[in-house]
C-alpha cells in the first residue's frame, strides 16, 4: 500500500488532499475502525454513527458503507 493507516482524525482529514482511489478509501475505513476500537467503541456504536443522517450520503449509500465498515471490523486484527 502507498498509504499508511491513519491513527487520528487529523491523518484522516489529510487524506482529503490525495486523489480518491480504492486504496485511499480502504485506508480511510481501516483508520476509522482502528480509531473507533482505540476509543473503546463497539461495532454497533460505529455502525450507528455511519448510519446517521448525512447530507453527503443517502440512506442506501450509508447502509452500503456500514456493511463495508462491519466487514473491515471483523477482518482487521
**DSSP calls for 24-64:** HHHHHHHHHHHHHHHTT--HHHHHHHHHS--SSS-HHHHHH
Q: What is the pLDDT of residues 14-67, one digit of tens each?
A: 888 888 889 989 999 999 999 999 999 999 999 999 999 888 889 999 999 999
User: Which pLDDT belongs to residue 4?
Assistant: 82
pLDDT at 1 over 70: no
Domain boundaries, the chain: 9-75
Amino acid at each position: 500500500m502507498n498509504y499508511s493507516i491513519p491513527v487520528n482524525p487529523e491523518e484522516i482529514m489529510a487524506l482529503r488532499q490525495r486523489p480518491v482511489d480504492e486504496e485511499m478509501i480502504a485506508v480511510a475505513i481501516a483508520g476509522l475502525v482502528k480509531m473507533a476500537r482505540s476509543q473503546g467503541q463497539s461495532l454497533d456504536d460505529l455502525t450507528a454513527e455511519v448510519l446517521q443522517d448525512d447530507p453527503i450520503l443517502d440512506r442506501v449509500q450509508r447502509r452500503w458503507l456500514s456493511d463495508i465498515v462491519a466487514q473491515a471490523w471483523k477482518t482487521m486484527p
